[in-house]
Chain A
């Protein structure tokens, strides 16, 4: 089958060879160590703590419940005692309210079946053979299970999965798109997941299809991962379910961006004001689907996630299954620590990740990786004046003119920024990557989006107030 793709985009060095062949390895929580659970690990209202200081909690126990419809509960990944409810530094660099738990030595689970180190360890036979109670398979029960497990978009956006799975009219959804593109360089966690836990992925897709009677499921994988495409195809061959298929995507960044992915698979175009459901699509990250499978089949909460620890600044690049809440420092230690003194440490991929200034931050549901670079490619060159070469236009997947928009943002011309579509920017970084003048285009775009967004909101509020006035 021919690979599909989108217009524009870039081909950065992918660096995946460092960790692509490293099997997923489980990391144990540090006995006596701290686990920190931010209440806001997702898009939407922060979760509300249901434990108090001094409480003893088991692993897999609810510690904070969803704060509203668009929100997600948080579960403990290790047993221990709640020591404080206080703000802590998180991966974004900001401080946010957290539940802090000191782990005990025993690490006892609320249900042993959830313990990935024990009975809950991945067993390929389980997703194929498990018989799920019919009462758990109604659309409402499936959504409830996903909601209660605290599953959010594990690709990085962190949008609550249950909200995605509850569009206004589920019958109008004709595409369930599974995002296994993993277009960010260096990251290999979804690749390993598809290779090692493909059974759970396929079983999860089939369960989620029950929510959308008119949908087909497309498992989308970039063609630089032929092993994964082959493996998932082989698994699909075993199921005889004609509603599922693998769609190979051309390896190009940002192929995994939601709008690019939907465009490549369906030819339908989304803008910033639309949701995938508006064009009949639901997009789920591959890791989220695996988590959904366990939530539906077993009621297992989201307590662990797979991270890639990689880069030439890491001693032994690897893919780790990490308890949510442990610190980046502990994750890095599990990978043997730094090799030498890296110049830059990033959480997430090199294109959209966040540079870190400390490792004393907790792993959250959306922590995709620790990437340590011995040399910082951004620091190699100074910024020079824009020569108007137009390479950013030909890189921009949103068909914008980054050069014009960033200039408008830098000058404070937010009307120009809005007029020429600045708010459509997805901050993928393709423009800044190709820029021969090494201009910090994403920085300007973010500034422009923030300022322009505030102006638009104020204008809308003023319009609403005026309308309200005339109505009366």
Chain B
């Protein structure tokens, strides 16, 4: 090689120095991140929680603040203590706190949501390995923990302090408890007005607005929520028919089943929690129907008016099994054994 060529080459090297980033394909990524998804869930939870504050007053805001703060601090201190990277900024602890608040009565003593937040993050999430590893929805597991431990405080719902419109404002029990007691609350009230219940259950419309936002942002798909609601209604009817009490099934009764308790918000915000629901298409069908069956059993046969939280955390436990038996057939692989030729 003669000199001029070498010099020329040396110059070429400085002007065409290649980059140093080396990685396996693909070399492009969608902009969406886990934190962005969590942020969308936080935004979607604002209408239901906001209506809770509207309906139950400042006290509800206080409960929400305690839940969220408790979750964030528990995660922060646990990760600090364990010398792990602190992942509070991924907003998943905030979401857990908000979901927990959704499930709290506004009048609860504040140390209970505090304890609930610690239980959700420490026991259900972090001790199982952190984000993505928990086998149950942390907020719902914490709710059930509180429900078992402090049944009375967890089921005492204060009257709404404000309603959207005056007519027929209800007090005392939740619509679902009313139908359980044999009464028949007016369905227009349940759909349009605020009603008693947990903080996040105050307004049906607010829940639907949050759900519509998640659907529009493609954070969730409609499959699990829709199937869960439909199958709950179906199983509630079926069980009543089998039990010989088909006469209780009225429009008001069914609307109370959907909107009068935790089903709607549970279906759109908790049953389809990424970590604890199946990803396979048929798995989602089986899981949603299982939740519907359990919810109907708890509500109609069980002693409590509600059943959504227990149904979901029980359903969560079946998810790994359901997924294993519903892995879809790969493209072009035939049904019969040895189809891969």
Q: Which of A41-49, A65-73, A205-213, A390-398 contacts B (4 or more CB under 8 A)?
A: A390-398
Chain B residue nearest in CB terms to A405:
B327
- Min CB distance, A120 to chain B, in Å? 29
Q: Does A399 contact B (CB under 8 A)?
A: yes
Docked Cα-Cα span, A442 to B34, in Å, equals 19
**A366-385 interface bits toward B, Cβ cutoff 8 Å, 1 = contact, 0 = none:** 00000111001111110011
Docked Cα-Cα span, A384 to B92, in Å, equals 12
Within 8 A of A (CB), among B120-134: 130-133
Q: Does B83 contact A (CB under 8 A)?
A: no
* Chain A residues whose C-beta falls within 8 Å of the C-beta of B277 in the assembled complex: 388
Within 8 A of A (CB), among B224-254: none
Contact of A384 among B17, B90, B276, B339 (CB under 8 A): B90
Also in contact, A403 and B279, with CB within 8 A (given A384-B131, A398-B330):
yes
Chain A residue nearest in CB terms to B92:
A387
Chain B residue nearest in CB terms to A430:
B26
Also in contact, A271 and B331, with CB within 8 A (given A359-B16, A378-B29, A393-B280):
yes
Does the CB pair B37–A376 fall under 8 Å?
no
Within 8 A of A (CB), among B279-314: 279-281
Q: Which of A54-62, A125-133, A337-345 contacts B (4 or more CB under 8 A)?
A: A337-345
Does the CB pair B24–A421 fall under 8 Å?
no
Q: Does B340 contact A (CB under 8 A)?
A: yes
* Chain B residues whose C-beta falls within 8 Å of the C-beta of A326 in the assembled complex: none
Does the CB pair A385–B133 fall under 8 Å?
yes
Does the CB pair A185–B275 fall under 8 Å?
no
Q: Does A270 contact B (CB under 8 A)?
A: yes
Does the CB pair A438–B33 fall under 8 Å?
yes
Contact of B333 among A263, A358, A421 (CB under 8 A): A421
Contact of A429 among B5, B25, B130, B327 (CB under 8 A): B25
Within 8 A of A (CB), among B1-47: 5, 12, 15-30, 32-34, 36-37
Does the CB pair B27–A437 fall under 8 Å?
no
Docked Cα-Cα span, A336 to B334, in Å, equals 51
Also in contact, A385 and B27, with CB within 8 A (given A273-B340, A400-B330, A401-B280):
no
- Min CB distance, A375 to chain B, in Å? 10
Contact of B22 among A329, A357, A401 (CB under 8 A): A357
Also in contact, A424 and B331, with CB within 8 A (given A333-B12, A351-B25, A384-B90):
yes
Also in contact, A401 and B327, with CB within 8 A (given A359-B16, A436-B33, A446-B24):
yes
Does the CB pair A404–B24 fall under 8 Å?
no
- Min CB distance, B219 to chain A, in Å? 9
Chain B residue nearest in CB terms to A389:
B274
Q: Does B328 contact A (CB under 8 A)?
A: yes
- Min CB distance, B215 to chain A, in Å? 15
Does the CB pair A432–B26 fall under 8 Å?
yes
Does the CB pair B131–A427 fall under 8 Å?
no
Does the CB pair B132–A385 fall under 8 Å?
yes
Contact of B36 among A263, A371, A436 (CB under 8 A): A436
Q: How large is the interface on A (under 10, 10 to 19, 20 to 34, 35 or more residues)?
A: 35 or more
Docked Cα-Cα span, A351 to B17, in Å, equals 23
Q: Does A1 contact B (CB under 8 A)?
A: no
Does the CB pair B18–A358 fall under 8 Å?
yes
- Min CB distance, A194 to chain B, in Å? 24
Chain B residue nearest in CB terms to A395:
B30
Docked Cα-Cα span, A263 to B17, in Å, equals 43
Docked Cα-Cα span, A71 to B286, in Å, equals 51
Does the CB pair B34–A424 fall under 8 Å?
no
Docked Cα-Cα span, A12 to B30, in Å, equals 7
- Min CB distance, B85 to chain A, in Å? 9
* Chain A residues whose C-beta falls within 8 Å of the C-beta of B16 in the assembled complex: 329, 332-333, 337-338, 359
Q: Does B75 contact A (CB under 8 A)?
A: no
Docked Cα-Cα span, A298 to B333, in Å, equals 43
Contact of A381 among B20, B33, B330 (CB under 8 A): B33
* Chain B residues whose C-beta falls within 8 Å of the C-beta of A353 in the assembled complex: 25, 27
Q: Does B81 contact A (CB under 8 A)?
A: no
Does the CB pair A377–B27 fall under 8 Å?
yes
Docked Cα-Cα span, A427 to B24, in Å, equals 10
Does the CB pair B5–A350 fall under 8 Å?
no
Chain B residue nearest in CB terms to A351:
B26
- Min CB distance, A251 to chain B, in Å? 16
**A414-443 interface bits toward B, Cβ cutoff 8 Å, 1 = contact, 0 = none:** 000000110010010100111111101011
* Chain A residues whose C-beta falls within 8 Å of the C-beta of B15 in the assembled complex: 337-338
Closest 6 CB pairs of A and B: A429-B26, A390-B279, A421-B330, A271-B332, A269-B332, A385-B132
Q: Known A-B contacts: A263-B332, A376-B27. Give 4 more (CB < 8 A).
A: A271-B334, A353-B27, A379-B23, A393-B280
In the assembled complex, 20 residue pairs joining A and B whose CB atoms fall closer than 8 Å, in A order, are A271-B341, A333-B12, A337-B15, A338-B15, A351-B25, A351-B28, A354-B25, A355-B24, A376-B19, A378-B21, A378-B29, A379-B23, A387-B37, A400-B328, A401-B280, A429-B26, A433-B26, A437-B34, A437-B132, A440-B24
